[in-house]
Amino acid sequence: MKFTVTTREGEARDVEARDGLSLMQNIRNSGIEELHAICGGSLSCATCHVYVERVPAGVALPEKSRDERDLLEASDFLEDNSRLSCQLTCRPELDGLRVTIAPED
Ligand code: FES
């Protein structure tokens, strides 16, 4: 799948993702380091916070777990479309996904 990520500076980049890896891993693998993801995807830091701007038609993202919700609620930058990118797995159906990296807490 391919997705578009907008950096904090407002630069939109298209990324060819590896399916089966998390969105966080794919963003970092593309060389975007401002998404710190300091806990490495173990759901304990919230430094992988993104805003999901567009989901392909007919596709639903998995519900947030309680831990994901709790971590996001601790962010000053929580929005309705906030997600932790380590909790979203890239798969072919998500081709065309658009996300923006949230400001740093
Ligand atoms: S990388 Fe730490 S919660 Fe996602």
Q: Write the pLDDT tens digit of every residue in 70-92.
A: 999 999 999 999 999 999 999 99
Which of 43, 49, 75 best tests ligand 1's pocket when mutated (most atoms within 8 Å of CB)? 43
* Domain at 97, CATH number: 3.10.20.30
Q: How far apart are CA 60 and CA 65, in angstroms?
A: 15
**Residue 99: what pLDDT?**
98
- DSSP string of 68-87? HHHHHHT-TT--TTEEEGGG
Structural domain count, the chain: 1
Q: Which residue range forms the structural domain that includes residue 95?
A: 2-101
**16 bridge partner residues:** 2
pLDDT per residue as tens, the chain (105 positions): 999 999 999 999 999 999 999 999 999 999 999 999 999 999 999 999 999 999 999 999 999 999 999 999 999 999 999 999 999 999 999 999 999 999 999
Q: Which protein residues are within 6 Å of ligand 1, measured from CB? A: 24, 37, 39, 41, 43-48, 84, 86
CA of 39 from ligand 1 middle (Å) equals 5
